[in-house]
Amino acid sequence: MQKRVLATMAAALLMGAAPVASSLAEELIVYHGWSSKSEVAALNVLQEALNAKGHTWKDLAIPHNSGVNVSLVNLVTGGEPPNAFVNSDPGVFRDLQGLGLARDLTDYYSEIGATENFFPIIRELSTVDGKMVKIPLFMHIDGMVYWNKDVAAKAGVDPAAWTSVDAMLADFPAIKAAGFVPAAVGGQAFQVGYLFHAMLAATAGPEIYNRLYGAEPDPAVFDTPEVRKAIEIVRAFSNEATPESENRPWNETTNTVIAGQALFHIMGDWMKGEWLAAGKVPGVDFGCEVIPGTKAVSVTSDAMGVLGGQPEAIDKAELDLVAAFVDPVVSARANQQKGSTSPRADASTEYQDDCNKAAMAALSVPNGQVANPFNITDSDWHNAIWTVLYDFWSNKSQTADDVIAGFAENYEAIFG
């Protein structure tokens, strides 16, 4: 139905585009769903960069969790589409391609010298069907360890010295004996799912990870020592969950670490925004590292697209927007505000803190990165994994065998 509606409206959208007077300055409508303090601060950097190109930014913000893809489609089919839009879903770009409204940026990135400076995983995540169509803005590592340095000192442990997840788990008794929760956790399917895929990437590496989360999962991977290991790590973390952690959002969970109730939290590096908002300084008040012994990090790329099939003046202005947003200095400044790391390997080090340096080191490891499941995994399969793991998390009587059986049952239902 969605594609039929899009197809019906596409011709009217293209025919109805009003002629634009030749001018260097254009107003560009930018559609996004970011609203937190750190997100807005990052967007302000991007807006300033667009203004410096002589163009104006017209904000079109729709709150988080409001059906981003549907909202974007409605804007396009309604004849008032944005010029730039935050979206990483390959399906949206394929729909636009079918309407002649996608914009291939492959040649332009080469022209401005961006392609070779994007991290390889970013080039992969920015590409749909062989064409680079996304504007990579903010790069996140899904499983970073952020810890309270004061709590670590009081507990007599040094997270920076951990060389493996087993070494981390071995310190849990000492941390509890000192009166602290070892690992802050939030009892939500999303948080459990992120913990699992981050741990699977870190402890098993790319080959096992991609067999489970790839576009065509391999059921033979379910009952492997590596997958079992990641499941057992999730159980070790669930055993540390306090009653108030049930349904607790990730940011509130992070704040238990900031408040000195727990030693550390494993979540995406967007946690840094909470620490910075609390006035804390990386390397002074809190430490940050990838999961100890990491074989691979899971990477999320927050990205934009620009609409194709537009009048020439708008088309040129959109390319100015692309150039402004992927500029290495602008990118570094915007990512500093959001708590993420620039998608460019040549980003200015002036805006990198200890957390960025830890992320950059992990991103520089050859073949040491995998894509966030949202970018590569069938959505039904991804949701099934979350459901199975959350049931396991919530029911302490379940074992790794139950999780493996759950994977197999859902695989058969989805792919069989």
Domain map (residue ranges) of the chain: 2-140+301-370, 144-298+375-415
Question: Token digits for 403?
Answer: 């999780």
Per-residue pLDDT, 233? 98
User: Most distant CA pair in the chain: distance in Å?
Assistant: 71
Would 2-140+301-370 and 144-298+375-415 be classified into the same CATH topology? yes
pLDDT tens for 231-258 read 999 999 999 999 999 999 999 999 999 9
Tell me the CB-side half-sphere exposure of residue 51, using CA atoms within 13 A. 9
Averaged over 199-223, what is the pLDDT? 97
Closest CA to 354 of 294, 286, 297: 286
**Residue 47 phi, psi (nearest 5):** -65, -40
pLDDT tens for 335-383 read 988 889 999 999 988 888 999 889 989 998 999 999 999 888 888 999 9
First-to-last CA distance in the chain? 25
Distance, in Å, from the CA atom of 265 to the CA atom of 148, rounded to the nearest integer, reads: 9
CB of 114 closer than 8 Å to CB of 344? yes
Closest CA to 142 of 40, 286, 290: 290
Quick check: 7 pLDDT over 50?
A: no
CATH of domain 2-140+301-370: 3.40.190.10
Neighbours of 207 (CB within 10 A): 13
Helix-helix angle 90-98:68-77, to 10 degrees: 10
Task: Band the pLDDT of 63: cuts 50, 70, 90.
Answer: low
Per-residue pLDDT, 198? 98
Number of H helices, E strands in the chain: 20, 12
Exposed e or buried b per residue across 182-193, where buried means at least 16 C-beta atoms within 10 angstroms of its C-beta: bbbbbbbbebbb
Higher pLDDT, 277 or 125: 125
Beta strands in 27-114 (DSSP E): 27-32, 56-61, 84-86
Distance, in Å, from the CA atom of 124 to the CA atom of 374, rounded to the nearest integer, reads: 13
Strand partners, 31: 60, 85
Per-residue pLDDT, 22? 35
Distance, in Å, from the CA atom of 218 to the CA atom of 137, rounded to the nearest integer, reads: 32
Three-state DSSP at 65 gives: coil
pLDDT tens for 12-45 read 344 334 333 334 799 999 999 888 778 888 999 9
Distance, in Å, from the CA atom of 9 to the CA atom of 79, rounded to the nearest integer, reads: 8
DSSP letter (8 states) at residue 146: E
> Which are the contacts of 380, defined by CB distance < 8 A and separation ≥ 6?
414
> Which are the contacts of 406, defined by CB distance < 8 A and separation ≥ 6?
384, 387, 388, 391, 392
Distance, in Å, from the CA atom of 81 to the CA atom of 28, rounded to the nearest integer, reads: 10
Three-state DSSP at 213 gives: helix
Question: Token digits for 401?
Answer: 């065998």
Distance, in Å, from the CA atom of 54 to the CA atom of 1, rounded to the nearest integer, reads: 40
CB of 68 closer than 8 Å to CB of 374? no
CB of 109 closer than 8 Å to CB of 132? yes
- Topology of the domain comprising 144-298+375-415: D-Maltodextrin-Binding Protein; domain 2 (3.40.190)
